[in-house]
Amino acid sequence: MDINALNIDESAKLNATAWLNGEYDEATKQAIRDMAENNPSELNESFYRHLEFGTGGLRGIMGVGTNRMNKYTVAMATQGLANYVKKINAGESELRAAVSHDSRNHSREFAEITAKVLASNGYKVYLFDGMRPTPELSFAVRHFHCHTGVMVTASHNPKEYNGYKAYWSDGCQLTAPHDEAVIDEVLKIKSVGDVKMKGGEENITIIGEEVDQVYLRRVEANSLNPEIIKKHHDVKIVYTPLHGTGITLIPRMLKQLGFTNVNIVEAQAVPDGNFPTTPSPNPEEKAAMKMAVDLAKDIDADIVFASDPDADRVGVAVKRPDGEWMLLNGNQTMSVLFYYIVKQWQEKQMLTGNEFMVKTIVTSELPADIATRAGIKIYDVLTGFKFIGAKILELEGVEQFIAGGEESYGYMIGDFVRDKDAVAACSMIAEIAAWAVEQGKTFFDVLVDIYKQYGFYKEGLVSVVRKGKSGAEEIQQMMRDYRSNPPAEIDGEKVVCIKDYKLHESKDLVTGKVTPIDLPTSNVLQFFTDKGNKVTVRPSGTEPKIKFYFGVKGELCCKGSFDKTNEALDQKIESIKHSMNLV
């Protein structure tokens, strides 16, 4: 089959031909021939571009091709990363890197290839002896004073995917200009023949238990009420790792803290990249949490939590007064974490006036309200946890970081890790459950207390998909239209403030005052109404969609009014969607 005769992108033809003629194994070449013969559209998808680093690093479907996750794209990406880090650190006598992986299919293979390429390039490589949570990789980068790090994972994506998160020396995922600069270096790698793969085996050091111990001690130090844990050690916890890396450290951490009644969903405790018990290993989804909630019902548990495959994100379920279980969204879990941590810092007189917390711009304003009322600075950053890490680095030695988070179920407590940390979050959530018992309350009651004190905040999301080139153009036109002709009202409420993260300005429509926004450029718009409600418009950086985030607020008088108030806020969000023609 002549690939050049196929009706596919020219870039796909060039890339596939290069692989057929290059130093690739015969099985790979045969797979290319088979796609050309039987599935040209798949060949096109597999080769029309090179995988790029986005907010989550390198991520894609596993398979043959430049646009797929495989041993060659991993090796070439690593060579580009190695070249860039070496260029930036010219003159360093020893370059160091840490490498880890999750439970996905081929993750160990990709991690070993990554380590081998780095070692062949002269790096001293610290390779974990088996799968570990993403936050421990972030920790290891800083612990070993590494210049870079790699975590092989596709987070909570379906089983067909794998990925590659690259980290900088601060333990944070790559941010500008490093992210784009690494891609530039990767694109210079024209074939696998440009990758150094031989020699350097002596540069690889296998690490494991010794790092686990140091990391877990740091997580343990986050505890604000060890005496309450000791008193209520038997609080009934249900935990599922969803076949992922959380099983390596989270049960162990809970035991180390003193919890004695941790019930693991055994069917999901075995690491398995096929995720056989759930359609998607995403703790945001009800189906992923079902087995844990079912177990909680059976044993009348106090709290349920689940970590995603690389154990950086946490899903939580709580028991309502009627005995039914309710899944918390990321904003709710983050708000409870902020509330508890702030309250304890206040009661223990730990606040000096120099502390700060961080959230992303699409996250609820409730965590900001909690921090601000306590006199704690709150910073907004762009979507993506790497920007929280960047803010911590910017203020290091100047202000003290307490906690941070985002609506997509990621939280960070303390600054010894510079990424989302499910190990630390699960530990603190368990502590809050014990603290609630001490108060004669449930976790749900704590959420109600927050809503009564600060207002009932509710969020919603609509994703508008527009596929193909024309779809991408339509999305860009929608953003241009919102900028040139912004809404004066949203659902009958006057728009009083517009934040434009592309133009770096916040405009008060009442006074006309324009305030600069000191954040990296991002094509995001936010509209704030005179009733305290918020709409954020953000095109996705990785998918053919534009996202609309809604944040509304009401008053909650008492626990008995929870359902009624919740329903009214849901109706408010629906009304806003209608007013913006999104339904």
By annotation, the residues acting in catalysis are 155
d(CA 229, CA 436): 11
The two tokens of residue 516 are: 């600069």
The two tokens of residue 284 are: 């945001």
The two tokens of residue 181 are: 């600069």
Which one, of 281, 344, 343, 342, lies nearest residue 311 by Cα?
Answer: 281
Q: Are 376 and 350 in contact (CB under 8 A)?
A: no
Which one, of 542, 526, 516, 533, lies nearest residue 482 by Cα?
Answer: 526
Q: Amino acid identity, residue 289?
A: M
The two tokens of residue 227 are: 């005496």
End-to-end Cα separation, the chain, in angstroms: 47
455 dihedral zone (left: phi>0; alpha: psi -120 to 50; beta): left
Q: Is the peptide bond before 321 cis (omega within 30 degrees of 0)?
A: no
Give Cα separations from 271 to 154, 242, 279, 309 (angstroms).
15, 8, 15, 9
Helix (H, G, I), strand (E, B) or coil at 466: coil
Helix, strand, coil percentages (3-state) for the chain, rounded to 5, are 40, 20, 35
Q: Are 166 and 57 in contact (CB under 8 A)?
A: yes
